[in-house]
């Protein structure tokens, strides 16, 4: 099962969160979408999960991806989410079964189709990368759950 615990982009020297807390799958969806809209820079997006100091090209890559996400039309899903709503949740397993894919893939598809969420998240990462580059601070995607198993 994938993690629903909160993750942020953390500035390691300051021990400070540079982004809002979001699920790991939300960050994976952003990395996937950024790589889709700007494939030439996918190595920078994938590097988000490792501690590093952002280089100028990474800062630029996140800004370009953010602008492309803003300009892209709303993504259409190959299914109607409303058909899979059960009271207060969406049945990801049923969607995955119908599409013959994984629950994680469905989760990434749904989140990457949420344009507002992707724009907010991309803005935060772009700003975190700028912070890292300007101050030469190491950043990383960090698990912020209070209790670790």
pLDDT of residue 16: 96
Q: What is the pLDDT of residues 5-62, one digit of tens each?
A: 899 999 999 999 999 999 999 999 999 999 999 999 999 999 998 999 999 999 999 9
* CA–CA distance, 81 with 91 (Å, rounded to integer): 9
SS3 letters for the chain? CCCCCEEEEEECCCCEECCCCEEHHHHHHHHHHHHHHCHHHHHHHHHHHCCECCCHHHHHHHHHHHHHHHHCCCCCCCCCHHHHEECCEECHHHHHHHHCCCHHHHHHHHHHCCHHHHHHHHHHHHHHHHHHHHHCCCEEEEECCCCCC
| Residue whose C-alpha is closest to residue 44's, from 21, 64, 18, 73 | 64
Mean pLDDT of the chain: 93
pLDDT of residue 1: 42
Domain boundaries, the chain: 20-76+113-143
pLDDT of residue 61: 98
- For the segment 103-111, the average pLDDT, to the nearest whole number, is 95
Q: What is the pLDDT of residues 79-95, one digit of tens each?
A: 999 999 988 889 999 99
Q: Report the Cα 112 to chain-centroid distance in Å.
A: 8
pLDDT of residue 5: 82
Does the structure show a pLDDT above 80 at 149? no
pLDDT of residue 87: 85
- For the segment 126-139, the average pLDDT, to the nearest whole number, is 98
pLDDT of residue 148: 53
Residues constituting the chain: 149
pLDDT of residue 138: 98
pLDDT of residue 11: 97
Give the residue, 3 or 22, on which the prediction is more confident: 22
């Amino acid at each position: 099962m994938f993690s629903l615990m909160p993750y942020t982009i953390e500035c390691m020297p300051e021990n400070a969160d540079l982004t809002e807390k979001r699920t790991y799958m939300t960050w994976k969806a952003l990395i996937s979408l950024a790589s889709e809209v700007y494939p030439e820079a996918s190595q920078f997006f994938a590097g988000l999960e490792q501690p590093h100091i952002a280089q100028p090209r990474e800062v630029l890559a996140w800004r370009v991806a953010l602008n492309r996400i803003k300009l892209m039309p709303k993504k259409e899903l190959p299914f109607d989410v409303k058909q899979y709503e059960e009271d207060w949740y969406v049945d990801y397993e049923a969607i995955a079964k119908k599409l013959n894919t994984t629950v994680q893939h469905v989760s990434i598809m749904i989140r990457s189709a949420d344009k507002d969420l992707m724009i907010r998240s991309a803005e935060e990462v772009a700003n975190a990368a700028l912070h890292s580059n300007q101050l030469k601070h190491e950043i990383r995607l960090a698990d912020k759950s209070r209790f670790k198993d």
